[in-house]
Chains A and B, each alone.
Chain A
Amino acid sequence: MNVPVVQPWIVLSFCSAIFFIGLAGVLIRRNILIIIMCIELMLNAVNLTLVTYSEILNDLGGEMAVFFVIVVAAVESAIGLSLVIAVFRTLRTVDTDSIQSLRG
Chain B
Amino acid sequence: MTISPIFFYVFAGMATAFALITILKKSPAAAAFSLVMVFFSFAGIYAVLGAHLVSALQVIVYAGAIMVLFVFVIMLLNADSPSLDAARSPMWLRALGLGTGAVLLCFFVWAFRNSAPLAATGNYSAQQVAQMGGNTRVLSRLLFSEWVYPFELTSALILAGIVGAVAIAKRKVPGDGGVS
Q: Interface on A for B, CB 8 Å cutoff? A: 1, 3-6, 8-9, 11-14, 16-18, 20-25, 27-31, 33-34, 36-38, 40-41, 44, 47-48, 51-61, 63-64, 66-68, 70-75, 77-79, 81-86, 88-90, 94-95, 97
Q: Are A67 and B143 in contact (CB under 8 A)?
A: yes
- Size bracket, chain B contacts: 35 or more
| Across-interface contacts of B16 in A (CB, < 8 A) | 14, 17-18, 21
Q: Are A67 and B57 in contact (CB under 8 A)?
A: yes
Q: Interface on B for A, CB 8 Å cutoff? A: 1-6, 8-9, 12, 15-16, 19-20, 22-23, 28, 31-32, 35, 38-39, 42, 45-46, 49-51, 53-54, 57-58, 61-62, 65-66, 69-70, 73-74, 76-77, 79, 83-86, 88-89, 94, 97-98, 101-102, 104-105, 108-109, 112-113, 115, 117-118, 120-125, 128-129, 135, 138-139, 142-143, 147, 150, 154, 157-158, 160-162, 164-166, 168-169, 171, 173, 176, 178-179
Report A53 CB to chain B, min CB distance, Å.
Answer: 8
